């Protein structure tokens, strides 16, 4: 039997994320999948972004940069990860094919309303977790 992987999603900004009156929402909030399964998550903005960034938080440290999307219709692939940004630059999807235990963690999206990310919007209280076990989810916060 394959391992169960639990994936959590979060935002790199305040829970009700506002960036120059823009709000970001990620879904799903969490999911558990079998090793080898495909998963897709989304990040939606209330208005167009200059750029959208995806990160993964594992149990061993800070966020790991995955990809930046800067053009409407942009699609980038790296290994088993595909990230897409719609033409209006308001919705992004991150897909992982044939998931592995190393992909378990918290996935984060961050939006730039202008050329650089406004780091004042980073949340100092963001709870990040990692879950992975062969008998069921085991949370380590």
Please state the rounded mean pLDDT for residues 12-38.
69
Q: Which pair of structure tokens corresponds to residue 116?
A: 């650089």
pLDDT in tens, 95-108: 999 888 888 888 88
* CA-wise closest residue to 22 among 112, 126, 115: 112
2: pLDDT strictly greater than 80: no
CATH code for the structural domain at 4-116: 2.60.40.10
Between 6 and 108, the higher pLDDT residue: 108
Q: What pTM was computed for the model?
A: 0.68
Mean pLDDT of the chain: 72
Above pLDDT 70, what percent of the chain?
A: 65
Q: Give me the pLDDT at residue 103, please.
A: 85
Over pLDDT 90: what percentage of the chain? 26
Please, which residues have CB within 8 angstroms of residue 45's CB and are 6 or more apart in sequence? 22, 23, 24, 52, 89, 90, 91, 111
pLDDT at 69 over 90: yes
At 45, phi and psi to the nearest 5? -110, 145
Tell me the pLDDT band of 31, cut-offs 50, 70 and 90: confident
């Amino acid at each position: 039997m394959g391992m169960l992987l639990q994936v959590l999603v979060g935002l790199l900004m305040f829970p009700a994320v506002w960036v120059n009156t823009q709000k970001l929402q990620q879904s799903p909030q969490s999911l558990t999948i079998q090793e080898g399964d495909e998963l897709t998550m989304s990040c939606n903005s209330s208005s167009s972004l200059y750029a959208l960034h995806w990160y993964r938080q594992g149990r061993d440290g800070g966020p790991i940069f995955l990809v930046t999307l800067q053009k409407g219709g942009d699609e980038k692939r790296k290994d088993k990860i595909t990230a897409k940004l719609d033409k209006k630059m308001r919705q992004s999807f991150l897909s992982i094919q044939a998931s592995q235990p190393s992909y378990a963690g918290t996935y984060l999206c961050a939006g730039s309303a202008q050329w650089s990310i406004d780091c004042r919007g980073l949340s100092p209280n963001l709870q990040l977790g990692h879950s992975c076990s062969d008998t069921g989810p085991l949370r380590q916060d």
